[in-house]
Structure 1
């Protein structure tokens, strides 16, 4: 990945390895053409052009000036901007689930797949492991791929994937937004593992201690901010329910994030 000039403008370039020799790289490259080509949404990184006639294929995307979500960990965003980012993420995933006749599972929602343009507008990126749910089906069962710490524990065991798996990953990401911590650091901070994160979060919320790990700049400067953060923490908690049936849908998340 990197930034280059193309036709007198800056672009974001994704280069692949020898995808003819590696099946995973082949499907990763294909997914990053097929899905972005069909998605016309302001918070999904736009594919401009692809070059597949060479040994190492290149995909050209719109320019993203400010890097990934992870790169913003030291950025002094105010609370309203962090909440805007959370809403952009939620709306983007809801669009994938509801915008087509067959839901698209992103399958790897994490901070390295969220990029920012010059206006700090969030862009969802990297459809390498994404899939459509087949027509007439409610789930897929062809294996779990995703970032460690962001995949629902039961899915790791069963291989059963549906839209609620993206909801779980969003819950992890929402905790990252609220705490400024990566998932792996958040587990360490709360002295728990992936399987007990939800329980530890519940303890923090019920004991009104969640603000001990919230580090967003400017919290408390406006009336109602702490209550809003508490509500978002509870929403993240619901997204991390062990049972997929107990998690909200992404449209419910959107309706409860504002």
Structure 2
């Protein structure tokens, strides 16, 4: 993990300090930039493994920084996570269309931030990602195919394991049944959408066997999301 360098681009000093502290605590190497011009310079000098990029920056905006990085051969594949207070769906789409790999709305919890960083690294640069995935008190060892919650081992079937793995890679994101079917079962396999409900139910039962809080939220007419919540 220590070899993974994250460039934090944030003009609010207090937030930048908190982000740096939390990421260093997780074992990441950090580099700071306070504006868009500084960010582009630091990318050239440091060549980070991932960029944590604020949208609203002085001089050159985060969107413009993202666009420029994506147009250069040497930086076009650097994973970028955008952070912003802009919560509108159109803003999120614009950020992703510009080339961001993920999009977080402030304020961002430490748990979700670290989980999103690990998820992006797994997708974009698997060699930088750990086999151990953690979300709250849930720990997954992907190589050993084991799951623990609060140090107690949880026994999951193969489908429930893949389902949890996918949700843990994308914490907080709402997936429709069809999206989960494609991701877990495969787009070329015919399975009824309601099958997802059955396996979500099994996964919830396993994760709450000892009275723990249910971490899987049902979003009416939309799908499911993995969150630190006591709602179902």
TM-score, normalising length: structure 2:
0.28
Bigger proportion of residues as strand: 2
TM-score, normalising length: structure 1:
0.26
